[in-house]
Structure 1
Amino acid sequence: MKLPEQQRTTESKTVDRLPDSALRFIGFLSFFDRYGTAPMLLMLSAGTSLSFTQAVELIAAYALLYAVGQPFWGLVSDRFGRLTVLRCSLVGAMLGSIASVLFTDYLPLLLARSFTGLMFGAMYPTLLTLLGDTRKGIDRARGLSDLQIYSSLGTTLATLAAGLLAAYLDWRVVFILPALGAVAALVSLRGVREPARGHAAMKLRAAVRPANLMLYAIVFVEGALLMGLLTYIVPALQQSGVGVGLSGVLGCGFALGVILGARLMRRLVARFSRTWLIGLGGAVLFLSFAPSAFSPSPASFTFTAFFLGAANAIMHSSMQGWATDIAPEARATTVSLFVFSLFFGASTLTYLTAGLAANADYAQIFGYGFWLGIALAVVATLAHARWRAANPA
């Protein structure tokens, strides 16, 4: 029989919410792995039996499984629990990363990276769900801010370091680090108890109304441009003669654009409606591609990276707000399909442009981004204006 003091000591080792340190580290880890492959495409191709096109396809396959897994992980999370999904995904990510180190032939490496993408894809949405389940008000806002900051840091460090690690050590180092990180993350989750959650059924019908389908189509194109074409920034810099280390630094212009754009958004939100912000962000998006499309150079690629980040902060954050409002009675399902469309768009465009990337025709790739960006800005702005008129606040 436990004495009261012993019982209190045992209970003190169990907590009901995810510690801030675990939240930040897992957010960092998931984005480090997602963006760690692109800066070392040339080294990966040189160090394996893969062609450059096949190396690009590894990223596309990773992004595809990352996207496809979103609705699946939402269902599993509701059925078995958030922390169950988070722990299982970390174990799977560790195994997938280890497999990525062991193989050098195309097919087994493609399967390993696809599986790893599926596992890492569970982490960020599960963290968001845990924040919603366990925190309220200012506490939740701080958690969301921490998650965004540390995820951006993961993207930045991957962009800066992955190419250098692959060039001066080995490309395998970039894949083994997330495996070690997954082990550390599992240790950080010891003693965290599954939070209470509701048992509301998913309302698929409300999530697939015509307005929702239009939103998913728009974010599919947005994901293709924002995330799909971001993949080519560092390879384009390297192809234009910039060294591995400097290309990673310049590629981090995207993260700087996100940070400064997010600060600007604090002022813009108070002055402009979401419709105007979507239009403004769309304009920043297509204009970001103009220099790289019509006058490709290291400076223009750096310009594109920075303003892609700004467009992410302005347009995509506004699109996220639209996704959370469009079907309140089916918010979880709607958001999962929204995220799926975003990453599916990114992986689709990466697949479609892999041949152009193999020929280093980055001007043409970014030219597609420019013209598609114009269409996206117009359609997204008009679609939101129409939806807002039909659904006044």
Structure 2
Amino acid sequence: MRQDQDLQSRAHGVPDSALRFIGFLSFFDRYGTPPMLVALSVGTSLSFAQTVQLVASYALFYAIGQPIWGMLSDRFGRLAVLRAALIGAALAAIASILFTNYLPLLIARSISGLMFGALYPTLLTLLGDTRTGVERARGLSDLQVYSSLGTTLATLASGALASYANWRLVFFLPALGCIAALYSLRKSAEPERSRSGFNFRAALRPMNLALYGIVFLEGGLLMGLLTYIVPALQESGVSIGLAGALGCAFAVGVILGARLMRRLVARFSRTWLIGAGGLVLCAAFLPSAFAPYPASYTVTAFLLGATNAIMHSSMQGWATDISPDARATTVSLFVFALFAGASAATYLTADLAQHGGYGQIFGFGLASSLLLVALATGTHALWRRKHPAS
């Protein structure tokens, strides 16, 4: 069995273990800083507001870089971009260790966001280049499991490492991880289909634009409103530590949902899976909209994770299929729309959150998720009729 997997990995050009590790690494770095903001402020000359700005700048450059990385990947190849980003991410992480003043640390974290932002979309594009059908869907599910593990470990461990050891460890570990990832790619060859040339117009076809609009809404509901789970738990009387632990129900939902997806993809169409995942999203917001209690918020976190594994992985598969002649650019714009939606939803609901209106926020999520289900399933069904082989 292991021999078959090794042969399969070599056929794909990149070992499966490398794909999973890089997915884990990218999410560990992305979610490692927020839990240690207080410790970072204490250990440096930065105010708490300035440490928050580090996270905001990281996220901004993470999003801004998406279209750029996609175009470079279509022009020069996936592994060329992946290796360049890993080298840049390692150097930026090391720079983050060396500086304690605001401006140089802000620049270092901004570059980190730019570089780490290239990793996950490039992994999605590699899966699109090298796998098809059920095999691709299972690869996406595996990638989600490991990225979710990276998120969970960062959430649980980075604050403790910064508080009880040293905040520099949280930046040092991703630097080591980048070096290890580069080593794991040392024998990997560029997939034959990885250089499609720069074709930005192909990534802006009407159906592509419809996909970006749908994922913008999905990002707002799935990622933007997920931000409020831990604050809502604290508002309901749960301690900070327990709120963080209960919030990890999201990761449990991703992992269990991904295991379920490995079975579902062989039996149901992607349109069906998008619709089913959308209904899980509706169910996620239902308890928190009408019963603002810790158990409700925990169920919401778990079902948001399951939605991520079922609906969002299906949307990712669609993004890798919709424009093979501009795959990396399309996937990067897809990821950009996802983060833009998350930011927009957080911005629009910030006043409600400030006044503890989490029931209203999740009620908004419930109503909007019904719209999302209709748009996503209807649009994918239309696209599928025009591309029956996809």
The interval holding the TM-score normalised by the smaller chain is 0.7 to 0.9
The answer as to 2:369 corresponding to 1:376 is no
Distance 2:354 2:130 in 1: 46
Equivalent residue, structure 2, for 1:88: 84
Pick one of 204, 207, 222 that aligns with 1:208: 204
8 A Cα contact 2:124 2:331, kept in partner:
no
Distance 1:267 1:185 in 2: 30
8 A Cα contact 1:275 1:385, kept in partner:
yes
- Mapping 1:252-291, distance limit 5 Å: 252-269=248-265, 272-291=268-287
Distance 1:269 1:19 in 2: 22
The answer as to 2:254 corresponding to 1:246 is no
Distance 1:57 1:229 in 2: 20
Pick one of 138, 146, 151 that aligns with 2:147: 151
- Mapping 1:95-106, distance limit 5 Å: 95-101=91-97
8 A Cα contact 1:99 1:112, kept in partner:
yes
Distance 1:295 1:222, change over 3 A: same
Equivalent residue, structure 2, for 1:8: none
Distance 1:254 1:189, change over 3 A: same
For the aligned residue pairs, the C-alpha RMSD in angstroms reads 3.7
Equivalent residue, structure 2, for 1:69: 65
Q: CA deviation at 1:311?
A: 0.9
CA deviation vs aligned residue, 1:113-154 (integer Å, no higher than 9, x gap): 332111101112333444566678998777656534322221
Equivalent residue, structure 2, for 1:12: none
Q: CA deviation at 1:201?
A: 2.8
Equivalent residue, structure 1, for 2:108: 112
SS at match of 1:186: helix
Greater CA deviation, 299-308 or 122-131?
Answer: 122-131
Greater CA deviation, 302-311 or 183-192?
Answer: 183-192
The answer as to 2:281 corresponding to 1:297 is no
Unaligned runs of 5+ in 2: 1-10
CA deviation vs aligned residue, 1:355-384 (integer Å, no higher than 9, x gap): 655666544443443333232223223333
Distance 1:304 1:140, change over 3 A: closer
Equivalent residue, structure 2, for 1:30: 26
Distance 1:180 1:161 in 2: 17
TM-score, normalised by the number of residues in structure 2: 0.80
Distance 1:113 1:374, change over 3 A: farther
Equivalent residue, structure 1, for 2:341: 345
Distance 1:82 1:280, change over 3 A: closer
Distance 1:21 1:282, change over 3 A: closer
The higher radius of gyration belongs to 1
